[in-house]
Structure formats: C-alpha cells, structure tokens
Chain A
Amino acid sequence: MSFRFIHSSDLHIGRRFANIPEAADGNIRGRLMEARHGALSRLAQAARDHGAAHVLLAGDTFDTATPSPGVIRHALATMGEDPAITWWILPGNHDNLRDAEPLWDTIRADAPANIRAVTIAAPLKMDETAVLLPCPVAFRASASDPTEPLATLPSGDGQLRIALAHGGVTDFTESGAAIAPDRDRSARLDYLALGDWHGRRAISDRVHYSGTPEQDRFKHGARGVCLAVAIDAPGATPRIEEVETGQFHWDTRAVPLTSGQDAAEALAAVLPGAARRDILLRIEASGWAGLPARAALQEAAARAAPDFAHFELLTAQLGTLYDTTDLDDIDTGGALRIAAETLLNDAESDDLSQDDRQVAGDALARLYAYVRGGME
C-alpha cells in the first residue's frame, strides 16, 4: 500500500490582478481572482481522484501577508469541506511567519480540524507510515537555506520522510534563496515538496516544484498543474503524476514576420481556436514589416482581441520597413510627401536617440494610417 498525497504550492489566493487592464464591460480581474480560489476545489478533487488523503501546500498559499478576512474565511471553508483530506499549509515568503503572524493565528484559531498550519520546523506525524518535515519561512527574504534543519529532524524507523519547503534552488536562480538541490540525499528524504517557482519543475527524482495550480503570468506557457505523488516504501522512487488544475491559460505566441508577408494571416495562424474566453494571450511580433503590414497586423489584432480574456500585442521586436510605394501611398509629391520623407529620415537617422527615432517612425505610421483612412 503506497502512501499518496497531492503536492501543490503558490496558490496566491487573493491576488487582485490590477495590472491586467479591464474592459469597461469586463470582469477579467474578478474571474482571475475566482480561478485562484477555485484551485482549492480542484486540488481536493485531484486528491479524491488519486486516493490521496493529504494535500501539501508548499508556501505562498496566500498572496500577501494580510489577505482580507473574506479571502481567508472562504479559503478555509473550502478546504474544510472534505474532512477526509488533510491540508498541510506551509508559510512561504509571501505569507511568511513574521509578516503574516495574524494570518497563521487566525488559521490556528478558526480553521477546521483537517487544516494543519505547519509553522514550526518539527516532525509531524502524517499517519503511521509517514512523517512530515516542514521548513516554514520566517521572513520575507532570507539568505540562508531553509531546508538546512531537515538533516537533523528525526523520524521513526521505517517511516517515510516527506519534507515541505519554499524557496529557490541554488542552480537555477540568482535570487539569493538557496535550497541545496541534493537536500534529499543529505537529509535522507523520500520526497522534498518545494514551492516558490510558479512553473512545474523537477529537480531530481525526489525533489520537485509543483508550480502553481493556477498560473498568474505570461511565463510558464502552460496551464497550472499539481503533483499526485505515490511512494511505495521508504527509499523507493516516488511516482509522480501531473494533474492539470489550471483554468486560465497565460499563453504567449510568437509571430515572426518577414517582408512582404501577410501579417494578418500570420497572426490568424497562431491564434488558438478554442476556449478563448479562458486564454490570456500575448502576441510577440518580431521580424520586419512594412507600413501596410503593420497597419494590417494592428487591425487584425484589434479584431481578434475581444474574443480573449486578455489580449496584448507586443511589437517592440518588430522592425518597420519603409518602402517607396508606402510613401507613394501617402503622396507622390507635395507637402504630404515632404512630411513623410522628413519623418522617414528621422526614423532611420543615426544621429537621433532611439526614442526620437521611434517617435518619428510611429508618426510616419500614423500619417500613413490617416491618409489611408481618408482614402477608404
């Protein structure tokens, strides 16, 4: 009979997404917030689906040290719905012990019995076969390795040593946090459940980042997951299964353009077809485009944008090609042509700052749009 549990982290419940622009008739921020809360139910469901009686949350369950009371109560109520599942909640850097002391006080005082706030670095009995070795985060930023005490934390003979920690691993971040990647060996761990990294990441057979169950940024390119872990016996390699729990997909798509390419068509080719409402899409246009292509790209983007939960078109990497025919479109001569050529010279001048060139280039594009708009 193997020991089964769900490993998740970085729920960041209560995150408000004020950086996401909201249309006048939209509610994207509310939906994103709700999705974070909804991750709790999906984690509980994953536990039931995989026969796990435990959910390990490796830090940053709450987005800030002082979540609003409603956020806390709703989260606790949701977790308390299924008494068969025990939630082990570890303080992370966002909800660290010091800053979020009232939060942990509240959880200890008000939480249903199946919620365990692991705020002390001491072994906790999960059941007869497994002991939990937690490494709670005491401060928002700490230069030391929070998993260091693990080596000295005792456990009974034949018990699984399952550790829970929050922070970066030495070999892939320069942030100052420093969890030794071989901690599983040095502390004789059967499994080290890590949080902090929002993407799914396996460090070794026994050391894993589950990533957040609900993504909150354009970075990791996939919906959030949790890990369903099964360990057959002490020393056995854990069996890991990724379970998709994310509702929203923060999707970044590249649109590399070349001269003469139909920009609108290129954009259409990369747009996802289904579930657009739950997709936050970032289009990163790159390469080169003429003035008409740029205008076409903008128009196509503007047409597609309302389908999505959020849509942004980044053209910082897209260079503009100025064709004489484009200038002819503005005017073949006269004052308009003079103006267009002045702007073009500025946009391509080596004597001007990048900003001034950008301004001149955009001014030319704008003139193009005016004149074209006037003709249509």
Chain B
Amino acid sequence: MKIRSITLTNVRRFTDSARISGISDGLNLLCEPNEHGKSTLFDAIQALFFIPHGSRKKEVTSLQPHAGGAPEVSMEVDTPDGLFRLSKRWLKKPAATVHRGTGLVAQSDAAEAWIADLLGRDSGGPSGLIWVRQGLTGLLEATEAERKLSLDARRDLMSSVGHEVEAMTGGRRMDAALRQCREELAALATGTGRPKVGGPWKTAQDEVERLEAERETLAATARDLQEALTARARARRELAEWEDPDAVASRQTALEAARSAHAAAQRHAETIDSQARTVDLARLKAQAAQARLAELNAARDEQTAARQELSAADTKARTALHARTEAQAARDTAQARLDQAEANAAKAEALRNAAQQAQAARDGADRRTDLTHRIVQAEEARRAMETAAAGRIGPDAASLRRIDTLAGALATARAARDATVTQVVAHYTPGREGTIRAGGAALPDGHPVPLPRVMRLDLDGIGQLEVCPGDTVHDDSSVDAADRALRAALTDAGVADVDGARTAAATRAKAEQAHDQAKAVLNSLAPDGIEVLRSTLARIPVLDSQDEAPDPAAAETALAKARTLRDTARAARDSAAERLADARDMATRAEAARDALADRLRRADETLAAFGSATLDSLAIETAQSAAALAEAETAHATLTRDAPDLASTGAALTRAESVQQRAQDEIAGLRPLLARLDERITRSFGDAVEERLAETEQELAAARAALSRVLHEVAVLQRLEQALDAARSQARDRYFAPIVQELKPLLRLLWPEADLTWGEESLLPEVLIREGREEPIDILSGGTQEQVALLVRLAFARMLARSGRAAPVILDDALVFSDDDRIERMFDALHRQAGDLQIIVLSCRQRAFRSLGGTALRLLHMAPETTG
C-alpha cells in the first residue's frame, strides 16, 4: 500500500478543504513551520484508518473545527489491486466509503472492514503503518493501551515474517497456547506462584481451613455432649441408687436401731454411776469407823506415855536449877579475884615507869651540859662571823690590781710628757731647800720639774716667779686621761688615793679571813645549825622531882609477877562464867521439856474425854458392820459394770448411721442440680444437632480437600506447561529474532560501525545497544541516540512488513528533534536507503535542517470547498 493523496475537510483549522497530493514512492517531505497543521494531518490519517465513522469519541470531536461541523478525511491509496479512494466523515451524516475510480467498492461497515483488511486484518494493530510521533524518543508508546497494541503488532509481524520462523517459534499458536495457559494460571495463582486472592485455589484452600476449624469446633462440642451424656448417666445411676426405696428404708431402720441402742446404753451407764456413788459412801463409813477405833487406842497410849515422861522431866529440871545456882556463885568469886589482880598489876606498872623516867634523866645530864656549852660557843662564832662581815669593805684584790695598773699608766704618761716640756730644776742653796714652791708643794732639789703650762712658783720670800713654757707644743691629754681613769677607779673603790686603796684592801683581806675562821668554828660546833642543837637539848629529860627513884629492875620484876597473877585470875573467872552459862541453858531446857510434857498430858486427857461413852468394844462392832456393807455395795457395782453395753460403740454406730443418712441427703441434693445442668447442656447440644453437623462438615471437608487437591494438580499442570512452553520458545528465540536483526544490522552500521542490539523476549524490542564491546541499556542512552534507535527499529520493522508482502508507509511526524546535524545526515542516508522499497512520509518544521533530505517535496494546498459527491 502506498498513499498518493490526502484531503482534509472541516478538520480543526482547515474549515475548508486542504489537500496533499503527488505523494510518490520513496521519500516524501512535508516541511512546514509549526502551527501549519502537520499534527492535524497526522491525526487525520490515523482517524481515517482506525476510528470508525460512527464513533463520537473524543478523538473524533477533537478533530472538529471551533466553528463545528463534520470532519471529513479522504485518501487515495495505491495497492496491488489498484488505486482506491477511502473517505470517512464523522458526527454529522457519518459515512465511510471506498471507491475505485468512480465505482463504489464498499461503504459504511463494509468500508470499515475493507480498511481494516487493508491494514492487516488479523493483527488488529497498526501493522499497516509504522508511526513515529512528534518528539518520540523511546521505543515504548505513551499509553498502556498503545504499548500493548504495538507489542501485539510487533509480535504479529515477527511471527509472520516467514513460515519457517513461525514454525520454529510456534508462532501465534504458541502465543495463544501460552496466553491461554497463563490466563488459566493467573486465575489460580499470583505471579509468584502463591494462591491468588479470590481465585479457586485460594478459595479451596480457605474452604479447607474453614472446614477444618469448623470440624474442630464441632468435634469439641460433640465431645462435650458425649461427656455430658456420660456424666448424666452416672449421675442418674447414682441418684437412683441413693433414692432406691429399699436403700432409703434400710438406712432409716439402721438409724433408728442405732439410736435406741445408744439410748439404752446411756441409761445403763447412769445406773452404774449411781451404784458407784453408793459404794463410795459405804467405803467412807467403814473407813470412819476404823479410824475412830484406832484413835481411841492411840489416845489411851498417849496419855500413859505422857504421864511417865512428865515425871522424869520434872526431876531433871530440879537438878538443873540447882546446878545453875552453884555455877553462879563460883563465877562471882572468880570475878572478884580478877578485879583485885588487875589493880595490883596496874600499880606495879606505874612504879616501873617512874623508875625508868628517873634513870633517863640521870643518863641525859652530861649531854645537856655539853650541848648548852656548844650552843654558847656557836652563838659566839656566829657573832664573830657577823662582825667580820661588817668589816669586809674596800677594794677587793681585783679592784686593787686595776688601780695599780691605772696608777702605773698615769706615771708612764707623766714621764712621757715631762720628757718634752720645759723643766725647771731647783738647785737650792743649801738650806733653802724647799723655798721654792709650786702650788703649795716645794720643788724638789735637783730634780727637774716639768712645766707643761704657765706655772707660778712661789719663791719664798721673794715673790712669785711665773714660768711660761713658751709656745712649744706638748700634749697633756694622755696624762689627763690616765689621771681620770685612775680617779674613777679610786672613786669606785671608795678610796681617796692609791695608798688608801692599798690600806683598804689590806683591811678587807683581814676581815675576810676573820669571817672565814668564825664560820669554820660555827660549822664544827653546829654542823646542822644552832636550832638543831637547841631542839636536841630540849629533848633531854630533866629530872623533875628530887624523890628517890625506885629501882628499875626491882620494879620490873614486881610488874611481871603482878601480871602473872592477873592472868591466872582472868582464866579462872572465864571458866566460871562458861560453867554458869552451861548450867543456865541446861536449866532452861529442862523446864521447857517439863512444860511441853505437861501440855501433852493435858491434850491426851482432853482426847480421851472427847470419846465420851464410846468404848473399844462398841467401836469394834461398828467397824465390822460398816466393812460388810461396803463389800456388799462393791459386789453390786461390779455386777452392773460387767453387764454394761459399750457406750462408745453404740455412739459410733449412731454417728455412722447418721452420717450415712446425711451423705445420702447431700448426694441427692448435689445430684439433682447437676442433673438439671447436664440436662440443659445436653438439650442444647442435642437441639443443635451437633453430630449431624459434624458428619456434614466432615463430608464437606473431604470434598473440599479433594477439590483443593484437584486445584493443586491443575496449578502444577499449568505451571509445568508454562515452563515447558517458555523453555521451548526460549530455545527458538535466537533464531526467532534473526530476521529483524538482519534487517536492522545495515541501518545500525550507518550510525555505529560494529554496533549490535540484543532483544527482549517479552517486549520484542531492543534492550541493549552494544557499541565497541560496551553494553548500554537503551533507556540510559541520550535522547538523540534513543530517538535514532527507535527510528531505525521502526524502519527495520517496516522493511520486514514489506518483505512479508504488506508494505506500509512510514510516517515520521517531527522525528529526530534531538539529533544533531551530523547524525541527521546519516539518518537521512538511512531513510534514503530504506526508501528504495518503502514509502516514507516525513513531516517536519525544521526547514533548514531538512533542506538536504531530498526526496519529493509535498505542499499542503488550501482549496475552495468541494462539492461533495
């Protein structure tokens, strides 16, 4: 099929008619600026081919001009059967016609069918035309529907390229089988092989699970029911046993028998008690009689004994009293003797002491004299010491040595001065010595006298001669200093001059010596001081009286004798006192014993008196009688005891009978409500027909399991089949893609030498572009490259179509917008290469870029409205 002309009427901006004619074989180019209706043309061609004339869909209304009206498109196509004119008109008076020359070939639905047939009836896709939309870069179409349609078209095309390939891949039969298999599988399972929600598999699975759960519930309820039935049967049996009239009567009889036996036993026990009390009474009486008899006997014996003993005790008391009186007298005598002896001893001791005193006084008289003398001497020495101490004034040896030294120094200083100063030497006329005086002192004869300063000499009788030493330089300072020091030392020593000092010093030394001597004397007389001597003196007794002192030895002897006598008397007195105390004790005891016995006798008398008229004989008779009565009572009690029933046994028997009765009542009282509850449970479960439903559920479960197993088998079968088909087709895939690869290869080489494409099995589109060994997925390639690959692939498919005898025009609407000029040139080459046996119509607004494309240039011509017909 080749398009020859296209006419649009009332299509969008073409409110009148517009026409393209003269479309040639090979490459055609309609190059118009934007907004000149290229896309309108494109849409119109699509509408003519694919939109039924009766349609009122959006695609149709979008073709209407603003002013409204019925869009109309017609086209002349060249087919192997000749030239046909196809026309369609939509919305108002919709029509579709196919003319051959002037003859009407088909119209309305027949015309639609004719067009569909022309495009490739059996595919349903746009296999008759290869479209490249404006700005389309990818291989995939914009919408899902288009994509699917396009995929079907490619598959159809490739599957029908050649018989051999078709046979190889199974072609449409394979596709149909696989599709059917997958559809059936998809109804059951998800893509990952899990049960599909809402599908039969999932439903069967859920049903099995539901029924299993239900069966469990029902089985549990059924078990409950059975348990309740068992429990009820047991309870009923037990209740019947408890309520059995024979059992009730027998329990009652037993209870009554036990009661009466126990009552009899209790009465008997009371009788025994009473008899026991009688026995006790008799025993008391017998014992009392016996005791009274014994008491009488004892009282008589006591009286006799007490009387005898009292008599003896009385004698004994009298003897003791006598002994005491004697002892008293003896003691008094010894006491008197002792008093005398003691007085004698005291007197002897006083005498002895006086003798000793006198002897001591005599012994101390010489020492008293000596001491008194020594004290006097010592006091003298002390006075001497004090006198010496008072004379111990004047310089001591050290001060004297210092004064001597200073005096020496002064002399030295004077000598040194005198050697340099003016000297006068008096040479007296004999006899006149000492008539020259200086300052009161006469000038010595023949001895130079220095004149340190102006000195007035008294010349006796003559007057005064003043000697001036002149202006010679001399120094008196050292003499003065020495003189001052000497005077200071002298003043300190309290003396007037050096000689005085010597004299004072000598006096002092003498005083000191006297002091030391006195001290030595004192020390020898009273080394410990005079006071010690005085106290020693005071201690020496002084003979007071001048009486004659007794002899100490004789006094001593007398004293010893007196003491011995005193000690003897004391021992005698003590012994007597002891004897007296003993005798006194003895007497007291004897009296007490006698009094006690007197009491005893009196009591015995009273006891006997209490028996009154009773006699030993009468009491013995009474005793024998009471003993017999006791024996009789005891015998009666023993008989009763021996015959008594066991009260504990009858009591236990009664308790048991009562507990049996009580238990029966309790059991019955417990069983009745239990039965009522069980009845209720059973009735409820029974009304629910549990087992019936359980049986039904089990049947359903078995059926559901069978169904599930069938579904599982079905899934396995379908999966196995799908896998087998996939595997087989995969095997054939490489050969399957061979034709398109072969078609595409020379086109690809125009752009990229050595380039190759791999193909997707599902999409039937190139997936990876291999250039220089590098694999690049198509969808990451640049826009331009994607666009070029897309265009080349379409050209290849078109070529295959042509080979299969269904040549179709390739229409490119503003393709290659992303491609640079160099690539466009090469794409042009590709287009020209394909245009050898394909009709290609290029719509573009890029006038300059496409100027070099070549091919037949088309023009969109506006025409006056045509008369329809």
- Among candidates B171, B176, B699, residue contacting A18 with C-beta atoms closer than 8 Å: B699
> What residues of chain B lie closer than 8 Å to A66, measured between beta carbons?
222, 225, 685-686, 688-692
Q: Tell whether, in the assembled complex, residue B727 and residue A370 are in contact, meaning their CB atoms are under 8 Å apart.
A: no
Q: Tell whether, in the assembled complex, residue B717 and residue A335 are in contact, meaning their CB atoms are under 8 Å apart.
A: no
Q: Tell whether, in the assembled complex, residue A331 and residue B170 are in contact, meaning their CB atoms are under 8 Å apart.
A: yes
Query: Per-position contact with A for B525-537: 1 when CB-CB < 8 Å, else 0?
Result: 0000000000000
Q: Using A16-B695, A18-B699, A370-B180 as known contacts, say yes or no to A343 and B229 having CB atoms under 8 A apart.
A: no
Q: How distant is the Cα of A102 from the Cα of B680 in the complex, in angstroms?
A: 11
Q: How distant is the Cα of A363 from the Cα of B694 in the complex, in angstroms?
A: 38
Q: How distant is the Cα of A358 from the Cα of B717 in the complex, in angstroms?
A: 9
Interface size of A by CB at 8 A reads 46
Q: Is A336 an interface residue (CB 8 A)?
A: yes
Q: How distant is the Cα of A291 from the Cα of B271 in the complex, in angstroms?
A: 116
Q: Tell whether, in the assembled complex, residue A71 and residue B692 are in contact, meaning their CB atoms are under 8 Å apart.
A: yes
Q: Tell whether, in the assembled complex, residue B720 and residue A335 are in contact, meaning their CB atoms are under 8 Å apart.
A: no
Q: Tell whether, in the assembled complex, residue B732 and residue A370 are in contact, meaning their CB atoms are under 8 Å apart.
A: no
- Among candidates B691, B692, B702, B725, residue contacting A335 with C-beta atoms closer than 8 Å: B725
Q: How distant is the Cα of A334 from the Cα of B173 in the complex, in angstroms?
A: 11
> What residues of chain B lie closer than 8 Å to A102, measured between beta carbons?
229, 682-683, 686
Q: Is B596 an interface residue (CB 8 A)?
A: no
Q: Tell whether, in the assembled complex, residue B169 and residue A335 are in contact, meaning their CB atoms are under 8 Å apart.
A: yes
> What residues of chain B lie closer than 8 Å to A68, measured between beta carbons?
687, 689, 692
Min CB gap B254→A, angstroms:
33
Min CB gap A341→B, angstroms:
9
Interface residues of B in 203-233 (CB under 8 A from A): 222, 225-226, 229-230, 232-233
Looking across the interface, which residue of chain A has its beta carbon closest to that of B179? A370
Min CB gap B721→A, angstroms:
4
Looking across the interface, which residue of chain A has its beta carbon closest to that of B230? A98
Q: How distant is the Cα of A366 from the Cα of B718 in the complex, in angstroms?
A: 8
> What residues of chain A lie closer than 8 Å to B731, measured between beta carbons?
335, 338
- Among candidates A67, A339, A363, A374, residue contacting B717 with C-beta atoms closer than 8 Å: A363
Q: How distant is the Cα of A373 from the Cα of B173 in the complex, in angstroms?
A: 10
State the total of A-B contacts with C-beta under 8 angstroms: 144
Looking across the interface, which residue of chain B has its beta carbon closest to that of A140? B226
Min CB gap B210→A, angstroms:
13
Interface residues of B in 126-158 (CB under 8 A from A): none
Q: Using A343-B724, A362-B717, A363-B717 as known contacts, say yes or no to A374 and B689 having CB atoms under 8 A apart.
A: no
Interface residues of A in 307-332 (CB under 8 A from B): 331-332
Q: Is B167 an interface residue (CB 8 A)?
A: yes
Q: Tell whether, in the assembled complex, residue B232 and residue A335 are in contact, meaning their CB atoms are under 8 Å apart.
A: no
Looking across the interface, which residue of chain A has its beta carbon closest to that of B686? A102
Interface residues of A in 49-100 (CB under 8 A from B): 63-69, 71, 98-99
Q: Using A343-B724, A359-B716, A366-B721 as known contacts, say yes or no to A374 and B688 having CB atoms under 8 A apart.
A: no
Q: Tell whether, in the assembled complex, residue B169 and residue A334 are in contact, meaning their CB atoms are under 8 Å apart.
A: yes
Q: Is B506 an interface residue (CB 8 A)?
A: no
> What residues of chain A lie closer than 8 Å to B230, measured between beta carbons?
98
Q: Tell whether, in the assembled complex, residue A98 and residue B688 are in contact, meaning their CB atoms are under 8 Å apart.
A: no
> What residues of chain B lie closer than 8 Å to A363, measured between beta carbons?
717-718, 720-721, 724
Q: Is B629 an interface residue (CB 8 A)?
A: no
Q: Is B700 an interface residue (CB 8 A)?
A: yes
- Among candidates B180, B233, B691, B702, residue contacting A98 with C-beta atoms closer than 8 Å: B233
Q: How distant is the Cα of A33 from the Cα of B573 in the complex, in angstroms?
A: 152
Looking across the interface, which residue of chain B has its beta carbon closest to that of A15? B695
Mostly, the A contact residues are helix
> What residues of chain B lie closer than 8 Å to A17, measured between beta carbons?
699
> What residues of chain A lie closer than 8 Å to B170, measured between beta carbons?
331, 334-336, 339
Q: Tell whether, in the assembled complex, residue B721 and residue A334 are in contact, meaning their CB atoms are under 8 Å apart.
A: no
> What residues of chain B lie closer than 8 Å to A335, measured between beta carbons?
168-170, 174, 725, 728-729, 731-732
Q: Is A224 an interface residue (CB 8 A)?
A: no
Q: Is B697 an interface residue (CB 8 A)?
A: yes
Q: Using A342-B728, A363-B721 as known contacts, say yes or no to A69 and B232 having CB atoms under 8 A apart.
A: no
Q: Is B181 an interface residue (CB 8 A)?
A: yes
Q: Is B703 an interface residue (CB 8 A)?
A: yes
Q: Is B646 an interface residue (CB 8 A)?
A: no
Min CB gap B727→A, angstroms:
7
Q: How distant is the Cα of A102 from the Cα of B718 in the complex, in angstroms?
A: 52
Interface residues of B in 13-50 (CB under 8 A from A): none
> What residues of chain A lie closer than 8 Å to B713, measured between beta carbons?
358-359, 362
Q: Tell whether, in the assembled complex, residue B728 and residue A336 are in contact, meaning their CB atoms are under 8 Å apart.
A: yes
Q: Tell whether, in the assembled complex, residue A14 and residue B717 are in contact, meaning their CB atoms are under 8 Å apart.
A: no
Interface size of B by CB at 8 A reads 50
Looking across the interface, which residue of chain B has its beta carbon closest to that of A65? B691
> What residues of chain B lie closer than 8 Å to A367, measured between beta carbons?
177, 181, 721, 724-725
Interface residues of A in 328-376 (CB under 8 A from B): 331-340, 342-343, 346, 355, 358-360, 362-363, 366-367, 370-371, 373-374
- Among candidates A64, A338, A374, residue contacting B176 with C-beta atoms closer than 8 Å: A374
Q: Tell whether, in the assembled complex, residue B686 and residue A18 are in contact, meaning their CB atoms are under 8 Å apart.
A: no
Q: Using A18-B696, A66-B690, A334-B732 as known contacts, say yes or no to A370 and B176 having CB atoms under 8 A apart.
A: yes
Q: Is A144 an interface residue (CB 8 A)?
A: no
Q: How distant is the Cα of A16 from the Cα of B229 in the complex, in angstroms?
A: 24
Q: How distant is the Cα of A69 from the Cα of B686 in the complex, in angstroms?
A: 8
> What residues of chain B lie closer than 8 Å to A71, measured between beta carbons?
689, 692
Q: Is A21 an interface residue (CB 8 A)?
A: yes
Min CB gap A212→B, angstroms:
16
Q: How distant is the Cα of A333 from the Cα of B732 in the complex, in angstroms?
A: 11
Min CB gap B316→A, angstroms:
116
Min CB gap A106→B, angstroms:
8
Q: How distant is the Cα of A278 from the Cα of B702 in the complex, in angstroms?
A: 24
Min CB gap B542→A, angstroms:
153
> What residues of chain B lie closer than 8 Å to A98, measured between beta carbons?
226, 229-230, 233
Q: Is A103 an interface residue (CB 8 A)?
A: yes
Min CB gap A97→B, angstroms:
9
Q: Which of A16, A334, A343 counts the most B-chain CB atoms under 10 A from its CB?
A: A334
Q: How distant is the Cα of A339 from the Cα of B686 in the complex, in angstroms?
A: 59
Q: Is A34 an interface residue (CB 8 A)?
A: no
Q: Is A101 an interface residue (CB 8 A)?
A: yes
Query: Per-position contact with B for A99-139: 1 when CB-CB < 8 Å, else 0?
Result: 10111000000000000000000000000000000000000
Min CB gap A355→B, angstroms:
8
Min CB gap B761→A, angstroms:
12
Min CB gap B411→A, angstroms:
165
Q: How distant is the Cα of A367 from the Cα of B226 in the complex, in angstroms?
A: 54
Q: How distant is the Cα of A103 from the Cα of B683 in the complex, in angstroms?
A: 10
Q: How distant is the Cα of A359 from the Cα of B718 in the complex, in angstroms?
A: 9
Interface residues of B in 713-765 (CB under 8 A from A): 713, 716-718, 720-721, 724-725, 727-729, 731-732
Query: Per-position contact with A for B223-248: 1 when CB-CB < 8 Å, else 0?
Result: 00110011011000000000000000
- Among candidates B173, B686, B687, B697, residue contacting A331 with C-beta atoms closer than 8 Å: B173
- Among candidates B176, B181, B233, B728, residue contacting A101 with C-beta atoms closer than 8 Å: B233
Q: Tell whether, in the assembled complex, residue B732 and residue A338 are in contact, meaning their CB atoms are under 8 Å apart.
A: yes
Q: Tell whether, in the assembled complex, residue B690 and residue A360 are in contact, meaning their CB atoms are under 8 Å apart.
A: no
Min CB gap A80→B, angstroms:
21
- Among candidates B690, B696, B718, residue contacting A16 with C-beta atoms closer than 8 Å: B696
Q: How distant is the Cα of A363 from the Cα of B687 in the complex, in angstroms?
A: 50
Q: Is A19 an interface residue (CB 8 A)?
A: yes
> What residues of chain A lie closer than 8 Å to B176, measured between beta carbons?
370, 374
- Among candidates A64, A358, A362, A370, residue contacting B692 with C-beta atoms closer than 8 Å: A64
Q: Tell whether, in the assembled complex, residue A64 and residue B226 are in contact, meaning their CB atoms are under 8 Å apart.
A: no
Min CB gap A198→B, angstroms:
15
Q: Tell whether, in the assembled complex, residue B177 and residue A371 are in contact, meaning their CB atoms are under 8 Å apart.
A: yes
Interface residues of B in 665-699 (CB under 8 A from A): 682-683, 685-692, 694-697, 699
Q: How distant is the Cα of A99 from the Cα of B233 in the complex, in angstroms?
A: 11
12 inter-chain pairs at a CB distance below 8 angstroms, sorted by A residue, are A16-B695, A66-B689, A101-B232, A334-B169, A335-B169, A335-B731, A336-B170, A336-B174, A338-B727, A339-B170, A342-B724, A342-B727
Query: What are the 7 tightest A-B residue pairs by CB atom distance, in nearest-first order?
Result: A68-B689, A64-B691, A339-B728, A338-B728, A19-B699, A363-B721, A18-B699
Supply 10 further A-B pairs (C-beta < 8 A) apart from A14-B689, A99-B226, A335-B169.
A17-B699, A64-B692, A64-B694, A66-B691, A69-B687, A99-B229, A333-B167, A334-B166, A338-B732, A339-B727
